[in-house]
């Protein structure tokens, strides 16, 4: 069985299980979507919004390489517009992750076979140059890339704060910056609406 065939079979089992547990579930799902959160994450297969146990209907999603909020990204702009104007989400989560291939690539020479990826991650190269002094102090490539992934999340949070659409959103939209650790599966808050930008804090502190 190919993986897509298995996906279809698993889908049958999934939909049956939910229908048995909650016969009206799909009727409700079809009637409307009222997500509270827009998730801007990386396309990496290991970091779906499902790491928060979100169910269908709960999170509106945009994912791209290295969770970037591109100034001229039509796809992101349309998702953002719909999320704010129509769905009226109250929160935007930018979620990056450690061991991010897109961020790691930004610390290496451009790969000739990946012109589109190179173009996309160019802002991360500029970010790495901006924080070169801090990154140089870190020992290994992995540590540098992981710190750059965190700085990248903070940069995207700042980019969102600067957008007129976000600034004029009614109701006010709160922006969160999170990083996912591959090593323990935990999300850590890097930027919270109530904290000053660039200030880091632990998710446990935020919860307390």
Chain residues binding Zn ion by CB under 5 A are 42, 44, 100, 102
Q: Which is nearer to Zn ion, 152 or 192 (CB)?
A: 152
The least CB distance from residue 20 to Zn ion, in Å, is 36
Q: Which is nearer to Zn ion, 102 or 177 (CB)?
A: 102
- The whole-angstrom separation of Cα 124 and Cα 106 is 6
The least CB distance from residue 101 to Zn ion, in Å, is 6
**Catalytic entry in 100, 146, 147, 192:** 100
The least CB distance from residue 44 to Zn ion, in Å, is 4
- The whole-angstrom separation of Cα 147 and Cα 193 is 21
Q: Catalytic annotation on 42?
A: yes
The least CB distance from residue 42 to Zn ion, in Å, is 3
The least CB distance from residue 39 to Zn ion, in Å, is 14
Print the SS3 string covering the chain: CCHHHHHHHHHHHHHHHHHHHCCCHHHHHHHCCCCCEEEEEECCCCCCHHHHCCCCCCEEEEEECCCCCCCCCHHHHHHHHHHHHHCCCCEEEEEEECCCHHHHHHCCCCCCCCHHHHHHCHHHHHHHHHCHHHHHCCCCHHHHHHHHHHHHHHHHHHHHHCCHHHHCCCCCCEEEEEEECCCCCCEEEEECCCCCCCCCCCHHHHHC
**Catalytic entry in 28, 46, 108, 126:** 46
Q: Catalytic annotation on 100?
A: yes
Q: Catalytic annotation on 99?
A: no
Q: Catalytic annotation on 95?
A: no
Q: Which is nearer to Zn ion, 42 or 191 (CB)?
A: 42
- Tokens linked to 170: 């009614």
Q: Which is nearer to Zn ion, 92 or 124 (CB)?
A: 124
**Catalytic entry in 42, 98, 120, 147:** 42
Q: Which is nearer to Zn ion, 54 or 99 (CB)?
A: 99
Q: Catalytic annotation on 183?
A: no
Catalytic residues: 42, 44, 46, 97, 100
């Amino acid at each position: 069985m190919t993986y897509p065939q298995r996906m279809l079979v698993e889908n049958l089992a999934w939909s049956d299980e939910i229908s048995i547990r909650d016969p009206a579930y799909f009727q409700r799902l079809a009637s409307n979507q009222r997500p509270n959160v827009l998730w801007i994450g990386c396309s990496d297969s290991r970091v779906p919004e499902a790491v928060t146990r979100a169910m269908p209907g709960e999170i509106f999603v945009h994912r791209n390489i290295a969770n970037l909020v591109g100034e001229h990204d039509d796809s992101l702009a349309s998702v953002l517009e719909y999320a704010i104007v129509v769905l009226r989400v109250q929160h935007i989560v930018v979620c990056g992750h450690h061991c991010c291939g897109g961020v790691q690539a930004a610390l290496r020479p451009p790969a000739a076979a990946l012109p589109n990826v190179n173009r996309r991650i160019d802002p991360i190269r500029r970010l790495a140059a901006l924080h070169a002094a801090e990154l140089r102090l870190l020992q290994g490539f992995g540590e540098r890339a992981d710190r750059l992934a965190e700085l990248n999340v903070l940069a995207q949070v700042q980019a969102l704060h600067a957008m007129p659409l976000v600034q004029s959103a009614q109701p006010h939209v709160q922006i969160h910056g999170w990083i996912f650790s591959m090593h323990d599966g935990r999300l850590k808050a890097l930027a919270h609406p109530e904290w000053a930008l660039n200030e880091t804090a632990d998710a446990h502190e935020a919860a307390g």
